[in-house]
Structures are given as structure tokens and as C-alpha cells.
Amino acid sequence: QVQLVESGGGLVQPGGSLRLSCAASGSIFRSNTMGWYRPAPGKQRELVAAITSGGSTRYADSVKGRFTISRDSAKNTVYLQMNSLNPEDTAVYYCNAVPGWLNWGQGTQVTVSS
């Protein structure tokens, strides 16, 4: 049973940055596309960034140019560097495989507010 543990969230002012981490038990990252998700209107969660086992990345239009996803397969960890944050980025962020077929973790709260 793979467990996902997200961390790194917090309160940040508009324009600020945060780096989220997602650690997984087991070697799930090595052969699976992994992604970061957040709730969205009309959806349970939207995929904001994804990275394949080969390192290719894709982003939602709303975060393109501001967020960067990366992975360290040796550490079974996926990261999300979030820059130029704005209040619309406020959400609980989750990581999971793409699509989200693993058990969801608790997520990490990101709050962007002055």
C-alpha cells in the first residue's frame, strides 16, 4: 500500500514562493507519471503539474511559467516549486499518480494572503 505524504505548505504573501514536497513509500515514482493536484470549481481536483518517469513535464495554463515540478526518484520524492503566488492559488495541494489511482494523502495547505 503506497502512502503519499505532502509537506511544505504554509502562509505566504502574494508574489511569494513555496516549495512543496511529496514523499512516497516504495518506488512508485520510478515508472509512473506523477502530478500535483488541487481542488477546482466543478471538479473534485484539477491536475496543475505532471512529470513523467522520463522527466517530461506539463502544466495547467493557470500555473504555467510560475510553477515547476521536479522529481528525485532515488528519494521517492516529487517537488513543486511555486513562484509568483497569488490568492487564487490558495488551496490544499495533493500529489498522486496521473491519473489519481493511488490512495490520496492528507495534502498540504497553501494560503496566499496579505
- Report residue 105 CA to chain centroid gap: 12
The whole-number pLDDT of residue 44 equals: 85
Cα–Cα distance, 48 to 57 (Å, whole number): 11
Q: How confident is residue 28, by pLDDT bands cut at 50, 70 and 90?
A: confident
- Report residue 38 CA to chain centroid gap: 8
Cα–Cα distance, 81 to 74 (Å, whole number): 19
Distances from the Cα of 33 to the Cα of 24, 41, 42, angstroms: 13, 24, 24
Do 21 and 27 contact (CB within 8 A), yes or no?
no
Per-residue pLDDT tens digits for 50-108: 999 999 999 999 999 999 999 998 888 999 999 999 999 999 999 999 998 899 999 99
